[in-house]
Structures are given as structure tokens and as C-alpha cells.
Structure 1
Amino acid sequence: MDKLRFGIVGVGMMGREHIRNLKLHPEAEIVALQDPVPECLERGVKQLGRPVATYAEIPAMLAEAELDCVLVVSPNYTHRAVLEPLFAAGLNILCEKPLCTTIADARWAAEQAKAHAAVFWTGMEYRFMPPAARFIAAIEGGEVGRLVQLSIREHRFPFLQKVGDWNRFSRNTGGTMVEKCCHFFDLMRLIVKAEPVRVFCSGAMDVNHLDERYDGQVPDIIDNSFTVVDFANGVRALLDLNMFAEGSEEQEALTAVGDQAKLEAFIPSGDLVHSPRVPLGQPKRPVRTHVAVDPTILAAGTHHGSTYYQIEAFIDAVRGRAPVQVTAQDGLMAVAIGVAAETSAREKRVVEMSELGF
């Protein structure tokens, strides 16, 4: 079988993670790297470990490189401008989260994707973390009964430095609740299997980046928050985010409570704990299992193996072996919930999704 020829747009930190993971896949070949920053291209070539065509501009890459697929890993605020020529070229596209930084641009991308003859996939790595995937499958399999509450906790390190410090400002990222938390809002929709009705977020920038200045400008990104999302089927979900808790033993914890049992997943330990309801006064009966991940795949990224497994699923969709699992519509809805959360935190009120056209 011929290998799929990949181009990567954006060769920063996450772009190089994609390089490491594409190198592991037997059906993928990286034939082009594009980035306007020469140093990023140099690091990308070094990461790849062999000569490869490099481009400062997307039109030159499209004109010269023979491509089957493109990964969009450029800064959030560039996604619409990057996607325009890629849609026109008819290539298979995996666009990293968030789909875009505004609802208007995300709607545009979703409309374009509907008419796109090739595969379009929104990058949502957290679905593909093996413990999270097992957690999702267990809920779908009825292991908690009727789902009532879902909570997601991420207690982690601050935003890392990116090229040009673009991720220090909400105008470039969409805000933390879009940039970072679109992952979790996507998980909520996937697990709850309903659309959001209203969002309340209490959040602020209380610890991180307070003493940083960029050309006299002060960063404005939320570093901790609680977000409650009410869904149309009556399920409620909570996101607990903290980005100055880098000492946490578990970075992520997912908890689903149904009318029959509670299920928890912990990352990076990879443990799942299933706790069925018991009669009052009877012994508790929790069952702990462990979800292992291939050490080579773990070492290739910083997202608990999910970058590789998502690329694998994307390639399956391109080959016609499986459907697209994360659509542009999924990307749009994750952005919309994030925008609602940003608005709620800023204005200190509940935001109805109908206000945003959903």
C-alpha cells in the first residue's frame, strides 16, 4: 500500500509532536513542512531526522508538493486563513483544536467542510487518550446506568511559551475556555449525547502571567475556573480547571455518575474505578482496572498517547476503513461552548446558548 503523503502547516511545539507520531505510523510519509519562521522549520527538519521540502508560504507548498493530507497546527488565530487554500486544494485535512477562535469563523469552516469532498477532521486529542476512550466506551455500554452528572477535572501546568508569545492573549487564542477547554466541552457533548442549553463559568487570571509584559501589554488569559454546562437531555456537566497545579499526581480526572454506578478515570496513572451503588450499610464494591499504553507511543507526545491514536483514526478515515470521528460541526460546538464560558466569566452571568444562535 502506498503511503499517504503528509504536509504539516505550523512546526511549533505541537507540530513537532505530530512529526514524532507520524514517523511511527507505517502508512504515513511527511513530504512537506510549512512555517513562516525559519527556526521552526529547522527544528522540524531536525525532529524528522532527514531532508524534507520546507516552505515559508502555503501557496508554494500547494504548488510544488504532492500531498494527500495536511495537518493544520498553526496558531489558533490563523486557522481560517490557512484553511481557505487547503479547502480549495481538495486535500484531506486534520485541523488542530480549536477549529477557529470565533463562532463566525468556526461556522464558516463547518459549512466549508460539509461541501468538502475529502476528509475533514477536527483535532480533539483527549477523545483518544486510552483511559478516556475506555471511560467513554464504558458509559456508552451502560456501566453507570442512566447518566446524570459528568465532571472533568484538569489540574496542570501553566500555558507554555509559544513562538511570538501568541498564546498569552485571548484575541489570538479565543481565550482559555476556547483554546484549552474546547477539548473538555467536546468530551462533554460526546459523552452526554445532547446539545448544551446554558453555560455558567466563574474564572479569572489569578496567579499565572501576572508579571509578564509583551510590548507593554498584559496577558489576559484565565488560569482557573469552574464551568457548569446544562444539556438538553437534563444531564449537567462540570469542568474544574486549574493551571497552576503542576504538582498534581493526576492531571486529569473524569467522573460519571449514573443511577446505577459511578465511574472514574485518572490520567496519567491510567486507572479506572467503577463503584456500583450498594444498599446503605453494606460494603462498598469498587473495582479498579488499569489501561496500559504502548511506551513508544507514550514517549512520542505529551498527550498520553492520544496524538498517535488520533492520527491512526484519521488515516483509517482517509483510507475509507472507518468514518470521521470528529467533524467540523463538533469543532464548531466546542468553540461555541468555550465562547459562552468566556462570556459568562467576563460578564459574571449565565449564558444561554440561544444567545449565540444555538
Structure 2
Amino acid sequence: MTNVLRYGLIGAGMMGREHLRNIALVDEVEVVALADDFPESLERAAKYAPGAATHDSAEALLARDDLDAVVIATPNHTHVNVVPPAVEAGLHILCEKPLATTLDDARTLRDLGNASEKVFWVGMEYRYIPAVARLIAEVDAGTPGPLRMLSIREHRRSFLPKVRDWNRFNRNSGGTLVEKCCHHFDLMRRIVGREPVRIYASGAQDVNHLDERYHGETPDILDNAYVIVDFEGG
């Protein structure tokens, strides 16, 4: 094969498998390697990438010399450790959202991405949903007139189960407003076309996951919250 983009996948859980299904829809692309330290996830993912080599660590995958790009779909709090060696390996990178769980880590990874000569992309795909893309196009064209306020609301089920229950705690996920609502903040910035200057927020955990225990700990995930974002220019 010629002109084939050769992918590796780090993190073979639910989102990793979703990426494999999407990559399979693209021409001139080959998944050559998968990595995960949870054998069951690796086994499931291998079904979507026949012939791909499997590794039990990101380090082993990144040591390969036959990759052009890598998808990073590991738990949120691990990105700060997984992304830098992928950048150093000279690969194009698609990192699942959120980029990081703290501002300091996000800034560190942002700077690495900006300094890289390769594509560095975070998976904020909501802006490409057809209905949302149409909304963005209409706002950009001025169809609704001057934009004075933008409201986004989501009602959703509680967090899905994940390997080793990592997403039950804010220290791993970044919290509900980071793990899930980063999509909405991305849309706000894209639709408004300006940067935020002030944020007000409040939230609570009143129902979800309060009856669960993991190694003696109760999950601390917010199940309700509101955020008001003031943008440049009012």
C-alpha cells in the first residue's frame, strides 16, 4: 500500500473502540497497533482492527517505527503523561477530550501541541454534528442578527461504568463540567467567536452515585450545575 496513514491507538476502552469504528470508514488508513494495560479492553478492540499488533503499554506502542499518527483515548488524568512522549515521537495526535484535568496540565499540553510540527487535535467533535454545524453557519452569516445571549442545556443519564471505575472521581475525570461539558464550552467559544473573561458557576451532587463505594470512597461527581460565562464585548 502507498500513501496510507498508519495509526496507533492508546486506550482501547469504549471511546477507543468508537475511534476504531470511525477510522474504519476512512480510505487509505490502516490501524497497525493497539495499546492498553487492561487485557479485556485490548481483546475487544482487536476485533475492530484485524491484524493490528497489541501492546500492554503506551511506551511499547510509541517505540514502534511504523506509525504516522496516534489516537489517545486513555482516562483523562493520564493524558498529561501519555501525550508528551507521543509528541516526542513525532506523531500526528488526536487526543480525546478533555485535554487535561487541571489548568496547569492543560497549558503544558497546549504548549507542547503548539510547538509540534505535526497535527495536534483534541476531540471536540460536537461542532461537526450536522445540526450544530448548520447553527454555526447561520450565526456566522448573521441570519439571527446580533448575538446577545447563548444558552446550552443538557439533561443526561449518570456516568457510564468505566474500567477500574476511574470516572467516578473528580481527581481522575476533572469533574462533570470538565469531563462532559467541555463540549458545551467549546461550542460557546466557537459560536460567540470571542473569548470568556468571567465565569460564575455552582453545582451539587444530590442523587447520582451516592449509594456507590469504591475502595471505601463515595464518588464525588456533580449531577447538577449551572455555569454563566461572560465573553469579551459583553
The answer to whether TM tops 0.5 is yes
Whether the 8 Å contact between 1:37 and 1:56 is mirrored in structure 2 is yes
Aligned to 1:246: none
Aligned to 1:174: 174
Shift of residue 154, structure 1, vs aligned partner: 1.1
Q: For residue 127 of structure 2, what is the amino acid of its counterpart?
A: R
Aligned length: 233
The 1-side partners of 2:65 and 2:134 are apart by 39
The 2-side partners of 1:27 and 1:227 are apart by 42
Task: Provide, for residues 246-277 of structure 1, a one-character-per-residue CA deviation record: whole Å limited to 9, x for no partner.
Answer: xxxxxxxxxxxxxxxxxxxxxxxxxxxxxxxx
Aligned to 2:225: 225
Percent of aligned positions with the same letter in both sequences?
57
Aligned to 2:129: 129
The 2-side partners of 1:73 and 1:64 are apart by 18
The 2-side partners of 1:209 and 1:215 are apart by 14
Aligned to 1:103: 103
Shift of residue 197, structure 1, vs aligned partner: 1.4
In our comparison, the structure showing a higher alpha carbon Rg is: 1
Q: For residue 47 of structure 1, what is the amino acid of its counterpart?
A: Y
Shift of residue 95, structure 1, vs aligned partner: 0.7
The 1-side partners of 2:183 and 2:8 are apart by 24
Aligned to 2:86: 86
**Which aligned pairs between 1:21-100 and structure 2 lie closer than 5 A?**
21-48=22-49, 50-100=50-100
Whether the 8 Å contact between 2:76 and 2:98 is mirrored in structure 1 is yes
Shift of residue 51, structure 1, vs aligned partner: 2.6
- Normalised TM-score (structure 1): 0.64
Q: Which runs of 4+ in 1 moved over 6 A?
A: none
Whether the 8 Å contact between 1:31 and 1:65 is mirrored in structure 2 is no
The 2-side partners of 1:47 and 1:207 are apart by 36
The 2-side partners of 1:179 and 1:65 are apart by 33
The 2-side partners of 1:65 and 1:224 are apart by 46
Between structures 1 and 2, the one with greater strand share = 1
Whether the 8 Å contact between 1:205 and 1:223 is mirrored in structure 2 is yes
Shift of residue 87, structure 1, vs aligned partner: 0.8
Whether the 8 Å contact between 2:98 and 2:179 is mirrored in structure 1 is yes
Whether the 8 Å contact between 2:96 and 2:123 is mirrored in structure 1 is yes
Shift of residue 27, structure 1, vs aligned partner: 2.7
Q: For residue 6 of structure 2, what is the amino acid of its counterpart?
A: R
Q: For residue 74 of structure 2, what is the amino acid of its counterpart?
A: S
Match of 1:184, SS?
Answer: helix
* Between 97-106 and 20-29, the greater mean CA deviation after superposition: 20-29
Shift of residue 65, structure 1, vs aligned partner: 4.9
